[in-house]
């Protein structure tokens, strides 16, 4: 997709979408449940996330626990709906009612179906779903175009259109439910995209007051909004090694200071070497200990020196044992300079 630039006029993809009202284009809010998507063949995790959001919306409308991990009703509905959708069958609410009363499952987890959720509780759940299904106000939520974010983001003549969704006609609870399902669909679509450094989509949320409250409030819009913001501001951490084009890693460690720039003198090691045909310099004797000198330009000899004998307690005895011997200091730790 082409990146979005400020000041660009985007084409409007039809009339505004108005879920639950025919003032604009109707939207099937429960598309993930009642209309099979191709994501069940390509993106199983994304399809499950969208299905979970749709079932949570239904349970909220019934006044039941919508938590996917804690609610037994949510687990039962998810298993029954996924079983039908993966088999290519419809999973609308009407088709699920008989299976809720008499599930085609021998066990759920490590428990039998009756031990997991009693038959009386399943009948009560089926009766509540049937009342919701017969409600005229709920019928408009199950009509209209499919909730498909990928089709909204498909470019038209090389440009990504703008899709406007209006929920001004809904009350506060209905707005949170519809926008929660919508944001979960957007999050599932974003997670299925490959990595890129270009802008893929722009979501403009007008008046977020009440939809992103502080802890402990948790409306259905909070989790997908926080997840979308975390993905939009994520950046590589500083201080790590970056990868070059040839696959090598570039180190960001600080360079070691040179010997001349160091405030403390370099550590020295005294070694005894033998110089053939060496004559003691004037004013200095072989028995005297010279003053060690260090320079940043000192280099070790390319030839490997002979192993040095351990120094004795007195420099005089060490030099007198070998004629012409002298003592030198090496600024390089563990190296000898002949």
Which band of pLDDT confidence, cut at 50, 70 and 90, is reported for residue 2?
very low
pLDDT in tens, 157-211: 888 888 999 999 998 888 999 999 999 999 988 888 887 788 888 889 888 888 9
The span from the CA of 147 to the CA of 31, in Å, is 6
pLDDT in tens, 89-98: 889 999 999 9
Tell whether the model's pLDDT for residue 66 goes beyond 70: yes
Higher pLDDT, residue 15 or 263:
15
Tell whether the model's pLDDT for residue 320 goes beyond 90: no
Please give the pLDDT value at position 38: 87
The span from the CA of 175 to the CA of 186, in Å, is 16
Q: Are 73 and 59 in contact (CB under 8 A)?
A: yes
Rounded to the nearest 10 degrees, the angle between the axes of helix 44-62 and helix 119-134 is 80
pTM: 0.62
Higher pLDDT, residue 264 or 44:
44
Higher pLDDT, residue 265 or 5:
265
Higher pLDDT, residue 81 or 190:
81
pLDDT in tens, 266-312: 554 544 444 444 444 444 444 444 444 444 444 444 445 555 555 54
DSSP character string of 215-274 = TT---TTHHHHHHHHHHHH--PPTTSPEEPTTS-EE--PPPPPPTTT-SSPPP-EEEEEE
Domain positions in the chain are 27-233
Q: Among 75-89, 177-191, 207-221, 255-269, which is the least confidently predicted range?
A: 255-269
Q: What does the pLDDT average to over 132-146?
A: 90
Arithmetic mean of pLDDT over the chain? 74
Instruction: State how far the alpha carbon of 103 is from the alpha carbons of 95, 108, 114, 162, in Å.
Output: 12, 10, 10, 43
For residue 32, give the nearest of 5, 17, 54, 6 by alpha carbon: 54
Tell whether the model's pLDDT for residue 39 goes beyond 80: yes
Which band of pLDDT confidence, cut at 50, 70 and 90, is reported for residue 251?
very low
């Amino acid at each position: 997709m082409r990146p979005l630039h400020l000041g660009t006029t985007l084409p409007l993809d039809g009339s505004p979408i108005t879920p639950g009202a025919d003032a604009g284009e109707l939207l099937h809010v429960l598309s993930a449940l009642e209309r099979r998507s191709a994501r069940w063949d390509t993106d199983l995790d994304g399809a499950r996330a969208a299905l979970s959001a749709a079932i949570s919306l239904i349970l909220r409308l019934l006044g039941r626990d919508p938590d996917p991990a804690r609610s037994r009703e949510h687990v039962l509905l998810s298993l029954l709906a996924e079983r039908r959708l993966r088999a290519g069958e419809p999973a609308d609410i009407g088709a699920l009612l008989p299976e809720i009363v008499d599930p085609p499952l021998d066990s759920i987890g490590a428990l039998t179906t009756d031990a997991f959720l009693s038959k009386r509780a399943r009948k009560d759940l089926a009766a509540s779903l049937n009342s919701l299904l017969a409600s005229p106000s709920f019928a408009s939520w199950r009509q209209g175009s499919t909730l498909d974010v990928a089709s909204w983001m498909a470019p038209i003549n090389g440009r990504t259109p703008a899709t406007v969704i209006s929920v001004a006609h809904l009350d506060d609870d209905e707005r949170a439910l519809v926008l929660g399902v919508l944001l979960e669909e957007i999050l599932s679509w974003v997670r299925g995209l490959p990595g890129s450094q270009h802008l893929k989509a722009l979501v403009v949320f007008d008046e977020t007051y009440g939809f992103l409250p502080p802890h402990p409030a948790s409306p259905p819009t909070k989790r997908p909004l926080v997840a979308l913001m975390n993905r939009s501001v994520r950046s590589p951490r500083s201080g790590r090694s970056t990868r070059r084009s040839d696959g090598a890693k570039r180190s960001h460690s600080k360079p070691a200071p040179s010997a001349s720039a160091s405030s403390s003198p370099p550590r020295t090691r005294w070694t005894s070497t033998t110089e053939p045909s060496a004559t003691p310099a004037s004013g200095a004797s072989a028995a005297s200990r010279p003053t060690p000198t260090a320079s940043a330009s000192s280099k070790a000899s390319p030839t490997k020196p002979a192993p040095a004998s351990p120094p004795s307690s007195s420099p005089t005895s060490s030099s007198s044992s070998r004629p012409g011997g002298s003592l030198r200091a090496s600024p390089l730790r563990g190296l000898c300079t002949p």
